[in-house]
Structures are given as structure tokens and as C-alpha cells.
């Protein structure tokens, strides 16, 4: 019986290390997030963000769909852009401001139906759950 204790400890530690600690596990999953404002200014173009899995995020901007990864533990947030469609549309200038803001985010806060992406330099992006 005693010879199995190290195996049980190893299994428990492996389970703890493999748990997801990203925003997906802290209220971000299974929701569609609508961008409401950037730095207190209403965002004029339809934009949504969703967590596809523990590390993959999809952003539907005004013109294009962007796929990115976030692998840092909550409350930290760092997007690594993977791919994007390359469509042009009249709201392309809003999409450029969106992607510039997303690249600068470092913190995520999720409380019920509100998600805020921010950084320490006064960037605030407010999202509301659509569901």
C-alpha cells in the first residue's frame, strides 16, 4: 500500500499542473462578448470576442475574423495573433484601432456579464456578454 503513495502524489500534482488558469476558466468560456467601448468612448462597429477553448480566442471585427492565443494565467492577458482574414470594408479604421488596442492589453477582469481588457497605461476595453 505504501508503495502506491508516490504514484498518487504524482497523479495529484500532474492534475494540478494541467488545470487551465487562463480567462477561459474564469468566466470567459461559452460566451460571446460584445465590445462596448474603448477608453470610455462607445465603439461604433460591431465587434465580438469568444474563447474557443482554453487558449484560443476568436475576434470578429468590423471587417475580419481574427484568431489569437492567450496562454498566460488569469488575470494576465497577452494575445498572440495566429491568423486573420484580409477583407476590406468601410469600418477598417475601427478594426485597426481594435487590433492596436488588443495588442496592448495585459490584464483581463471578468465579473458576471462584464469583461474588461486593460493595461497599466490607462487602456480599457469593456465587453458585455451577449447571452
Please write down the HEC assignment for all residues of 63-93: CCEEEEECCCCCCECCCEEEEECCCCCCCHH
Which one has a higher pLDDT value, 14 or 63? 63
Neighbours of 19 (CB within 10 A): 8
27 has a pLDDT exceeding 50: yes
Query: pLDDT for 55-101, tens place per residue?
Result: 999 999 999 999 999 999 999 999 999 999 999 999 999 999 999 99
pLDDT level of residue 3 (50, 70, 90 thresholds): low
- pTM of the shown model: 0.82
31 has a pLDDT exceeding 50: yes
15 has a pLDDT exceeding 70: no
Amino acid at each position: 500500500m505504501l508503495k502506491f503513495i508516490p504514484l498518487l502524489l504524482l497523479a495529484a500534482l500532474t492534475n494540478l499542473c494541467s488545470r487551465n488558469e487562463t480567462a477561459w476558466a474564469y468566466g470567459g468560456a461559452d460566451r460571446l462578448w460584445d465590445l462596448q467601448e474603448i477608453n470610455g468612448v462607445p465603439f461604433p462597429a460591431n465587434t465580438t470576442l469568444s474563447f474557443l477553448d482554453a487558449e484560443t480566442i476568436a475576434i470578429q471585427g468590423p471587417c475580419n475574423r481574427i484568431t489569437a492565443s492567450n496562454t498566460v494565467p488569469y488575470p494576465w492577458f497577452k494575445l498572440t495573433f495566429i491568423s486573420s482574414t484580409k477583407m476590406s470594408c468601410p469600418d477598417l479604421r475601427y478594426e485597426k484601432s481594435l487590433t492596436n488596442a488588443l495588442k496592448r492589453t495585459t490584464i483581463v477582469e471578468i465579473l458576471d456579464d462584464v469583461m474588461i481588457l486593460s493595461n497599466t497605461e490607462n487602456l480599457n476595453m469593456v465587453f458585455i456578454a451577449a447571452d
